[in-house]
Amino acid sequence: MKYTKGPWHACHNGECSCHMVWSIPHDCVVAVGIGAKDENYTGGEGIINEAIITANTRLIAAAPDMYEALKAMADIHSPYSPKVAHDMADKALAKAEGKGE
Ligand SMILES: [Zn+2]
């Protein structure tokens, strides 16, 4: 699969109002986190919850890391040991949760 090379970076860990996600190697924007006006996810109809958008932005930014970690875990011929693959997954999850990078 070909995609814009990671790692991707959420501007100010997803907390910036621009909600941009950058590819660090390519120095370009690959995505912008947005939120839906959905009362089930925003706490009120028509109100966009900034925390949800921040979480969406972080999740998008962690996508390449999660993809690589899952590939390392799923591929029996992976060049990574199970321990390294597990560490990759832990780091990707931490990044998605705003605790990494
Ligand atoms: Zn920004």
> For 12-46, what is each residue's pLDDT tens digit?
999 999 999 999 999 999 999 988 665 565 555 55
H runs (alpha helix) in 37-96: 39-42, 50-61, 63-74, 82-96
- Say whether 28 sits in a helix, a strand or coil: strand
In terms of C-beta density within 10 A (0-12 exposed, 13-18 middle, 19 or more buried), how is residue 1 classed?
exposed
Q: How far is the CA of 74 from the centre of ligand 1 (A)?
A: 34
- Average pLDDT value for residue range 71-81: 94
Q: How far is the CA of 55 from the centre of ligand 1 (A)?
A: 14
Confidence of residue 70 (pLDDT cuts 50, 70, 90): very high
Q: Does 69 have pLDDT greater than 60? A: yes
Q: What is the pTM of this model?
A: 0.86
Q: How far is the CA of 1 from the centre of ligand 1 (A)?
A: 28
Q: How far is the CA of 20 from the centre of ligand 1 (A)?
A: 6
Q: How far is the CA of 11 from the centre of ligand 1 (A)?
A: 5
Above pLDDT 90, what percent of the chain? 77
Q: Does 1 have pLDDT greater than 90? A: no
Q: How far is the CA of 50 from the centre of ligand 1 (A)?
A: 14
CA distances from 33 to 69, 83, 96 (A): 22, 32, 13
- Average pLDDT value for residue range 38-55: 70
- Residue 35: what pLDDT? 80
